[in-house]
Amino acid sequence: MRPINGDDVTEAVAGCTAALRAAVDRDWRAVRAKGLEWDCHATAVHVADDLIAYAANLAGRAQDAYVPFELTLDEGTDNAGLLHVIETTGALLAAAVRTAEPGVRGFHPYPFGSADAEGFAAMGIAEVLLHTRDMAEALGIAYEPSAELAESLLACLFPHVQPGPAPWPTLLWATGRGELPGRAPVAEWRWRNNLVVPAERLTLTGLRPAAAHDLRLGGDGGLTWLEGGPYEGTRDAAGMLVKAYQAGVHRPEFGVFALVRHEDGRAIGGIGFHGVPDDDGRVEIGYDLVEGARGQGYATEALRALADWALAREDVGSLFATVHRDNTASQAVVTRVGFVPVSSEDDAELAYELRR
């Protein structure tokens, strides 16, 4: 798996139009797309409409709603012309993704109200791949995207879904379009963009499995780090995220976040959870900073922001943190945020708790 980019949008659109050209002389309005209420013509228009909408929301940095316009075809546009529209809207999305500045987000309603460039690229690709399959099945033509693209799409938009034996059948199963041995049928589904939590001088940016995988292997996770980063704790946490994803127990809102500084866009550390809340609503939290960012209040700011976000949820009742006894700086951080000492069975560490 790897991060999704503009080139992947181009690949997905090229695969779509190449497949559908085999049936360009058919009456698409007379054939209902498989599993949908739309006919194949309406489905193809929907794909183009989504591609241009995602490009517009990203390029226009829409904040609270979609940019207020919609795609309308000229009267008499045939299937070949419609495929040209898909190619064009796909090119616009690919360009918007390639030229977006790091950290830029635009409105998307699910699940956290926004998406970044990678998210918009992935959502566009999902619309293309899945609906091309719906049309191809109905029209009786062959279609299957590359396994690498399907694998990366799953990791980006379906981080809560355990990888299956093959990416494309897993993606079809995850979106209610097929069966997967050993797994129950999917009746309802949603993809998940990554969560960002704003703070005064920082943005806590949720790491996707592909970025975490790169960090675990010694890469930068697609981030520009302050000199000396990422710290080893962030790499270890990224490895835990990847293992959770592979086991099918990863929940992205309770994963790992990179601390990205507003003033220069550099990542200065990591913060995150050690899993999902237990039955009592208790969840452990941990953090670290690159040495050059310490002593400036960043850890306190990040911990306070993530604690406020977590404790506002109904499924979280308390946060738990452990700190080495000789780490007085970190002890000061948790104390400033409001954590209080609790008993610890480990002589080398102190335990702290923050209740809602």
Give the mean pLDDT of the chain.
Answer: 96
Tell me the percentage of the chain whose pLDDT exceeds 90: 97
Mean pLDDT over 290-310 rounds to 97
Please state the domain extents for the chain: 6-174, 196-355
pLDDT in the model for residue 345: 67
Mean pLDDT over 270-298 rounds to 96
CA angle 186, 41, 86 (to 5 degrees): 90
Cα(204)–Cα(202) distance, integer angstroms: 6
Classify 255 as helix, strand or coil. Answer: coil
pLDDT tens, 117-133? 999 999 999 999 999 99
Are 161 and 248 within 8 A, CB to CB?
A: yes
pLDDT in the model for residue 110: 87
Class of domain 6-174: mainly alpha
pLDDT tens, 331-351? 999 999 999 999 776 778 999
pTM passes above 0.85: yes
Are 94 and 4 within 8 A, CB to CB?
A: no
Predicted confidence band of residue 27 (pLDDT cuts 50, 70, 90) = very high
Mean pLDDT over 86-106 rounds to 97
Residue holding tokens 């000396």? 228
Classify 281 as helix, strand or coil. Answer: coil
The pair of three-digit structure tokens given for residue 126, joined into one six-digit string: 């999902």
Cα(14)–Cα(239) distance, integer angstroms: 34
From 130, 107, 102, select the one nearest 118 (Cα to Cα): 102
pLDDT tens, 232-271? 999 999 999 999 999 999 999 999 999 999 999 999 999 9
Asked if the model's pLDDT at residue 352 lies above 80, the reply is yes
Q: How many CB atoms lie within 10 A of CB 127?
A: 22
CATH topology (fold) of 196-355: Aminopeptidase (3.40.630)
Predicted confidence band of residue 273 (pLDDT cuts 50, 70, 90) = very high
